[in-house]
Amino acid sequence: MPPANMRLPTLALCSSLALAFVPLLGCNKTPPEAGASDQKQSAAAAVTSAPAPEAPKSAEAPPPEPPAAPAQPNAIPAPADVAAAPADAKTTASGLKIKVLKAGTGKDHPKDGERVSVHYSGWTKDGKMFDSSVARGTPTAFGVNEVIPGWTEALKLMVVGEKSRLWIPGKLAYGDRPAMGGAPSGDLTFDVELLEIVKPPKPPETPVDVKAAPATAKKTASGLAYRVLKAGTGKAHPTATSRVSVHYSGWTTDGKMFDSSVTRGEPTTFGLNQVIPGWTEGVQLMVVGEKTRFWIPGKLAYGDTPKRPGAPAGMLVFDIELLNIQ
């Protein structure tokens, strides 16, 4: 579901790792939801959370202090070589350094579009642990392309069962001066154990009417066009402030799919006041169980010339299935 301030499905950690992701529509999974698991609010949670737009600040106002990083229980001691990679670590062309700590039993390497389950711990060069699924006692799952570049590169070199230590330069992590409050800066060191590779579901077929709404589609005063693909079983409609769960896929009019909860294998939950105007209006027309195709003009999406890099431009087409109204 695309938020007005969408992040990108390509390449941001709520606590640490997820700041690495910049998913597109995953862009709009929401801020940590009530009842969400600790796991989703940790490293990979960024994939599914979209921060609310910040209120404009006056030129004179000093920048706010970044939020303090959440305390980590059962801190994992930093490795002796946390500050710098040893001579026997391999260095890739990008500057990533990696050393295998435990050989894996698998044969396949994770690929673009696949999801993985891992256990990991992360430290700054001074040995301070800033995040750890090991300390939380719960593995973390996320898409290979939904994390910081250093992770994406390293994961593609690993096999299931392998545990490796990564020395990731700031340019492949969150940068030397991270834009997101609370993100660790500079070079980072991670121990990562790859537990599982999950193949993505088959992507939905591109709609035959993706180029333009057919004559049978209904059109609202705003210019939103829609056609019901499957009738729903519910009676109530969500309001502009309702939270809903949906499955969706989105395409540009040339048939390119740019985001899909279907291929991620999990529905998305968000507030209708947290997404692009076309979604806010369109989903209110639906009932639970209904699946509808929407043709959303650029003015109700990200615009014809989006300001955010990577945001899809112009009219967008979405298939949305409303699963639940909270």
Residues with catalytic roles = 248, 258-259, 276, 302, 318
Burial class of residue 167, CB neighbours in 10 A (0-12, 13-18, 19+): buried
Residue written as tokens 């309702």?
Answer: 242
The residues, any chain, with a CB within 8 Å of residue 47's CB and separated by 6 or more, are 12, 18, 21, 23, 26, 29, 142, 143, 146
> What residues does 111 pair with on adjacent strands?
none
Single out the residue of 183, 203, 179 nearest to residue 308, CA to CA: 179
d(CA 93, CA 91): 7
Residue 282 to residue 24: CA distance in whole angstroms: 20
Q: Which long-range contacts (CB under 8 A, 24 or more apart) does 213-217 make?
A: 213/295, 217/293, 217/295
At residue 299, the 3 state secondary structure works out as: helix
| Element of type H or E holding 115 | strand 115-124
